Amino acid sequence: MTTTHETVSPVSQTAKIGGLVKRWLPAIVLVGAIGTAFALGLDKYLTLDALREHRFELQAFVAQNQVAAIALFVVIYAVSTALSLPGATILTIAGGFLFGIWFGTVYAVIGATIGATGVFLVARTAIGQSLRERAGPWFSKMEDGFRDNALSYMLVLRLVPLFPFFVVNLVPAFMGVSLRIYVLATLIGIIPGAWVYASVGAGLGSIFDSAEEVSLGSVLTPELIAALVGLALLSLAPVVYKKIKRRRRADHG
């Protein structure tokens, strides 16, 4: 009776370890950075009270260093989004306050898209591939359905403010959404909300001067939510059209 022993060469073992490190290191670094940011309490600086307290210094910095201020704002927004800090709304309002409605919206959208794309790429590399390899047939069917209508579904997730932004950053990575669709849907989908909050920021100076209280709850009115939900339903029109078209083909087939 002969016994065979499978041996793993040092080269292949090193390559395997290197592959695991390459896959998981970005996720580990991101999680570590998120934990550090919350441990340091960085999220506490992203408040309306902080904006009110430092508004004159911020306005002076923007006036004297416009290009640097724009770059810094976009970088802070991207990092905040990547670290999932609960301050994107405040940053968008600050963008409107410092740069005006239109430019504030543009800079916020750019920063949010960059940060969200970074999270998407990390999640897709570290978790998405592993999840798809281990999941059963049910996941493959769900993934195929999501991917067939990825742009429409992504727009719904981005437009409706009921879904946390960091969750919407992760779900597409598990569903095999392409980078192009993800970036396009993120870029388009966050424009309406960003414009609304930048508009609030543009009129914030007079509110600060009057010492009136302002809260995020007063911004997210039922009318605004209804408008965003309407846009989300409109983005589902292609999905409905595809299903009707398939049903007609099946009936005539």
Tell me whether residue 3 is in a domain: no
The tokens of 187 are what? Answer: 């870029």
At 123 the pLDDT is 80
Tell me whether residue 177 is in a domain: yes
Of residues 6 and 12, the one with the higher pLDDT is 12
Domain limits at 188?
Answer: 16-252
- The answer to whether residue 1 scores a pLDDT higher than 60 is no
**Average pLDDT rounded to a whole number, residues 232-240:** 59
Tell me whether residue 7 is in a domain: no
Asked if residues 128 and 26 have their Cβ atoms less than 8 Å apart, the reply is no
Q: Residues 108-154: pLDDT tens digits?
A: 999 999 999 988 888 887 665 555 555 555 455 556 667 777 777 78
Q: Within 10 A of 234 (CB to CB), how many other CB atoms are there?
A: 13
At 67 the pLDDT is 94
Q: Residues 23-78: pLDDT tens digits?
A: 666 666 666 766 776 666 666 777 888 888 888 999 999 999 999 999 999 999 99
- The answer to whether residue 210 scores a pLDDT higher than 80 is no
Q: For tokens 């302002």, what's the residue?
A: 214
**Average pLDDT rounded to a whole number, residues 222-236:** 60
CA dihedral defined by 234, 239, 132, 81, rounded to 10 degrees? -10
At 104 the pLDDT is 94
Highest mean pLDDT among 50-59, 69-78, 81-90, 179-188: 69-78
Q: Residues 146-175: pLDDT tens digits?
A: 777 777 778 777 777 667 777 788 778 777
Tell me whether residue 158 is in a domain: yes
Tell me whether residue 172 is in a domain: yes
Q: How many domains does the chain have?
A: 1
At 138 the pLDDT is 46
Tell me whether residue 1 is in a domain: no
At 10 the pLDDT is 61
The tokens of 112 are what? Answer: 């949010």
Of residues 239 and 123, the one with the higher pLDDT is 123
At 173 the pLDDT is 79
Return the HEC string of the chain.
CCCCCCCCCHHHHHHHHHHHHHHHHHHHHHHHHHHHHHHCCHHHHCCHHHHHHCHHHHHHHHHHCHHHHHHHHHHHHHHHHHCCCCCHHHHHHHHHHHHCHHHHHHHHHHHHHHHHHHHHHHHHHHHHHHHHHHCCHHHHHHHHHHHHCHHHHHHHHHHCCCCCHHHHHHHHHHCCCCHHHHHHHHHHHCHHHHHHHHHHHHCHHHHHHHCCCCCHHHHCCHHHHHHHHHHHHHHCHHHHHHHHHHHHHHHHC
Alpha-carbon span 96 to 104, nearest angstrom: 4
Tell me whether residue 176 is in a domain: yes
Of residues 238 and 156, the one with the higher pLDDT is 156
Min mean pLDDT across 3-12, 19-28, 137-146, 179-188 is at 3-12
Tell me whether residue 5 is in a domain: no
Question: What mean pLDDT value characterizes the chain?
Answer: 74
